[in-house]
Structure 1
Amino acid sequence: MDSGSVKARPSIQTIWQQLTLSQLSLSEWRGASWLYRIVGMFHNWKYGSWCLQHSDAISLWLLGLFFGLAPFVSTSLMSVLLVGCAGFWFLLTIADGEQGKVRSGLTAIHLLVMLFWGISVVSIGTSPVKVAAIKGLAKLTLYLLLFVFMARVLRSRKLRDWLIGIYLHVSLIVSTYGIRQWIFGAEPLATWSDPTSEFADVTRVYSYLRNPNLLAGYLIPAIAFSIMAIFAWKRRGPKFLAAVMAVINTACLIFTFSRAGWIALVVMLVSIALLIGYWLHLYKRAWVLPAIVGGMVGFIALSVIFVPPVRSRVLSIFAMRGDSSNNFRMNVWTSVFQMIKDRPILGIGPGNDAFNLVYPIYSKARFTALGAYSVPLEIIVEAGFIGFACFNWLVLVTFGQAFEQLNRLRQANDRQGYWLIAAVATIVGLMFQGLFDTVWYRPQVNSLWWFAVAIIAGIVASQPTDFLTESRESIAQQTDKA
């Protein structure tokens, strides 16, 4: 029995490494790839261009402007900024270093992102609304180019710290205005709650984003990064500011009374607590893990028992069709299941425009729907089960790469590990919110999800041993041939 279990352990570890692509070497792929040859193709530009010589500052300015304006401006202006980021990334890619000698920063995460994009391209061929699907692909492409641009920029520790700091200060402004709405009242912009429930008169804050569910999604990463900033920032003043940010952001999210946001908040906090316990080597003590889980369960139970609005909102989750919001989502899901049944392999093509054209054919209710009100269902509708499998693989690879880097940073006692924890917790939180809502597809939230993934990819690409390992492999291959 013991010998069998000992033999099984290496095979399980090997399977995990294969699934997460942790042993994948990209040096051979880069050498044979025609696409990779464009990297550094016009490297001479760099020496005569003022723009390229100050590329770090310009990159930070572009991304800082994007995240700084995101909660306050229209989607159209955000699209313009996305195009600007994509264009500057392309310029950097073809002009950075000498061709074939520049460290590209390509990771396994990038490969899965490219695979997901490729599946979305193929899905257009089977889409019943090809023109709308092409528009959706254009939007998806901009988000993915934003990811590769951020992953490149976030290889720098300094730029990583700056960009996280910009987002946290902007989110503090957003949360402060939300708290003001809670204190002085805010006019509802839509019927966010069932008017027949006892919860109908409770103010749901929406701040500058004009939607409480969207605001909750925007603040989930802000809470994660502000909590981790307490540990990552060195001086007492910034630590105190981070604590203030964490309290205000959390309070504002609670005042949105977004049920999916609350679920995401709880799961995210549990993820942070578990990862912090691992980082601090606390699991050597048997009581730590039960204490973390038990403390969170106790806090939730006390909140439900003694805070009437919280109790009303939580109980509405279990009201099924007795709650108008639940009933609407269930009607949408019924139609979505039929859409998936008819096109299960590659879906209807990417984008909400394609969804809005196809959904009315299946809808049995009088109301339209902006999306599937569930990110997993939305992915299956748009890209089929093939796209959904690829997306899950992307998440699995991202987590696998993150945990490898967390071990490396923990051994080095590197404070960047705190940002890694925040990024993992952000991904987990937004994914749980996405089970019951599709604000994940709004640019203010979608960009933050890719921001978290880009932080992980940037840390993976910045590890000092990566380039040296590939060089040694190349030298060893040449020696064997000789």
Structure 2
Amino acid sequence: MDAKLKFTNIKLWQEWWHHSQMRAILLYLGNWQQGSYLVSTSLCGLLLIGLLALLPYLSNNQIGIVSAAIAIYWVFLWVGDRASKAIDAATSVWTPIHLPLAVYWGIASIATMLSPARRAAIDGWVKLTIYFIIFACLNRVMRSSNKIPWRSLLVGTYLLTTVLVCIHGMRQSILGAEDLATWTDPTSELAGTTRIYSFLLNPNLLAGYLLPAIPLGVVGAIHWRSWGVKFVALGVAIAAWYCTSLTYSRAGQIGQIAEGLALLICLAHWWASRLPKWTIPGVLSGAVGAIALALVIFPKQRVRFLSIFFGRNDSSNNFRLNVWMSVLQMIKKKPVLGYGPGNRVFNQIYPYYQRPGYSALGAYSVPLEITFESGIVGLACYIWLVATVIRYGWQNFNRLRAERASEGLWIAASLSIIVGLMAQGLFDTIWYRPQVQIIWWLAIALIASFCIQPIDQARAPEQPSPDSETQI
């Protein structure tokens, strides 16, 4: 009887859905999308290009408005796909990376509902949701690269935008720039040194924004066919490296080193069959030697880098240590699911725990910030997400290497970006700023766009896409 009743209920539900207004609306949207130029992957790609082009010049609120508009547009696109059942490997957004992403979003949603500062947490949850949808947009657009080389267009837009950012930063290093905050210990040897910030108004933020341009520029110089484009890409990588150094951001320096080593390892592995076995140890030794030599040649960089190890004798180190102690006390009060996402939650809770004279807008450490927002459960889930990205990135990197498909080098750049921004994020939280966060998801989307789904594996091998300009 129970089985018969269950079957009857399902049949009634199907009958209701077949005649419902909701189904009629979805079918209308699907049919409209199929014949409309206003709701298409190409227009979504153009909107993303516009966002990347304007990223350094817009305020956080303006970036939020543009990103929200793109997110709403993606929802229409997604609903239209489901309504018309026009879903294939090119438009599907689901990859193995999406599972931990969805789980983390669920954890953040629960943390929002249970937050002692619920209104502030809802604001942070909305921002988090928009970032995840931006990632879904990037993934969808890049997976349609068999028609238009969206990977190259999106990466190229970001690199060209960094050209103006670097030029303005170099101008500041020559002509000087006003200190907009107390960025340098007034008692150190670097007191009075110009720390450039370009259009982003913060040297640490500028360092985080420029770090991805280094591996993307190097890979672009290798992958793209035109010699003119190669020189431009390499020039952007060099300019981004130089300007990142001029920010004198210690977290940025750590990110530079970690990112550079990761990129060298990936490139050495890519050409491993053509190189002797001692290549990777030799490259790493040479990189360490180059870093040591640079610290000897450039005294300001040496002083700034070595101040990392001064402990509480450096005012910046002392400030961070005091903030970290306060954040740990906050985490102990709500260790499981945290206080909810967003900097507004932090700003409301932190004053109750802060030490006198050590006000802060963030935890100055991404792992601590994630734990504060979503607890130990959220931190474990985000580690799972990053591990999944690296795992599938490396798998597809080796697959494309075996296929001798040069677009696989974008994965090398993305893995390097992830390592670099993670290293920087250990000691700073500019990672949460939209100028860095959107580039972070661009790097992850580059990896996700190469993930093979079951529907892909069942298909016959396809011809190389226009994005594959060169072969090894």
Do residues 141 (structure 1) and 129 (structure 2) align? yes
The correspondence of residues 83-482 of structure 1 with structure 2, limited to 5 A, is: 83-96=68-81, 99-100=84-85, 102-103=87-88, 104-157=92-145, 158-281=149-272, 285-460=276-451, 463=452, 466-469=454-457
Q: CA RMSD in A?
A: 2.0
Which shifted more, 73-82 or 431-440?
73-82
Compared with structure 1, are the counterparts of its residues 469 and 228 closer, same or farther at alpha carbon in structure 2 (3 Å cutoff)? closer
Aligned 8 A contact 2:143 2:449 in 1: yes
TM-superposed deviation, 1:362? 0.6
What amino acid is the match of 1:43? G
What amino acid is the match of 1:146? I
Which shifted more, 83-92 or 281-290?
281-290
TM-score for the superposition, normalised by structure 1: 0.86
Aligned 8 A contact 1:423 1:453 in 2: yes
What amino acid is the match of 2:447? I
What amino acid is the match of 2:37? W
Aligned to 2:14: none
Q: Which runs of 5+ in 2 are unaligned?
A: 1-16, 18-22, 461-472
In the aligned structure 1, how far is the partner of 2:418 from the partner of 2:306?
26
Aligned to 1:81: 66
Aligned to 2:465: none
Compared with structure 1, are the counterparts of its residues 284 and 251 closer, same or farther at alpha carbon in structure 2 (3 Å cutoff)? closer
Aligned 8 A contact 1:127 1:349 in 2: yes
Aligned length in residues: 432
In the aligned structure 1, how far is the partner of 2:82 from the partner of 2:153?
24
Compared with structure 1, are the counterparts of its residues 99 and 204 closer, same or farther at alpha carbon in structure 2 (3 Å cutoff)? same
In the aligned structure 2, how far is the partner of 1:374 from the partner of 1:468?
39
TM-superposed deviation, 1:307? 1.6
For the residue of structure 2 that corresponds to 1:149, the secondary structure is: helix
Compared with structure 1, are the counterparts of its residues 282 and 300 closer, same or farther at alpha carbon in structure 2 (3 Å cutoff)? farther
Q: Which runs of 5+ in 1 are unaligned?
A: 1-33, 473-482
Q: Deviations over 1:171-215 (max 9, x none)?
A: 111011111111221111111000111111211100000100000
Aligned 8 A contact 1:133 1:350 in 2: yes
TM-superposed deviation, 1:88? 1.3
What amino acid is the match of 1:164? V
In the aligned structure 2, how far is the partner of 1:423 from the partner of 1:333?
29
In the aligned structure 2, how far is the partner of 1:468 from the partner of 1:294?
41
Compared with structure 1, are the counterparts of its residues 410 and 70 closer, same or farther at alpha carbon in structure 2 (3 Å cutoff)? same
Do residues 59 (structure 1) and 47 (structure 2) align? no
Identity of paired residues, percent? 43
TM-superposed deviation, 1:368? 1.7
TM-superposed deviation, 1:249? 1.0
What amino acid is the match of 1:193? T
In the aligned structure 2, how far is the partner of 1:57 from the partner of 1:100?
19
TM-score for the superposition, normalised by structure 2: 0.88
In the aligned structure 2, how far is the partner of 1:471 from the partner of 1:298?
48
Compared with structure 1, are the counterparts of its residues 186 and 414 closer, same or farther at alpha carbon in structure 2 (3 Å cutoff)? same
Aligned 8 A contact 2:31 2:84 in 1: no
Q: Deviations over 1:64-100 (max 9, x none)?
A: 1111111011111111111111111111112137644
What amino acid is the match of 2:128? L
In the aligned structure 1, how far is the partner of 2:289 from the partner of 2:70?
45
Q: Deviations over 1:418-452 (max 9, x none)?
A: 11111111111000000000000000001111111
In the aligned structure 1, how far is the partner of 2:293 from the partner of 2:132?
42
Q: Deviations over 1:141-168 (max 9, x none)?
A: 1111111111111113311111110000
TM-superposed deviation, 1:340? 1.0
Q: Deviations over 1:300-327 (max 9, x none)?
A: 1112223210111012111111111111
Compared with structure 1, are the counterparts of its residues 323 and 233 closer, same or farther at alpha carbon in structure 2 (3 Å cutoff)? same
For the residue of structure 2 that corresponds to 1:205, the secondary structure is: coil
Compared with structure 1, are the counterparts of its residues 191 and 426 closer, same or farther at alpha carbon in structure 2 (3 Å cutoff)? same
In the aligned structure 2, how far is the partner of 1:124 from the partner of 1:430?
26
What amino acid is the match of 2:307? S
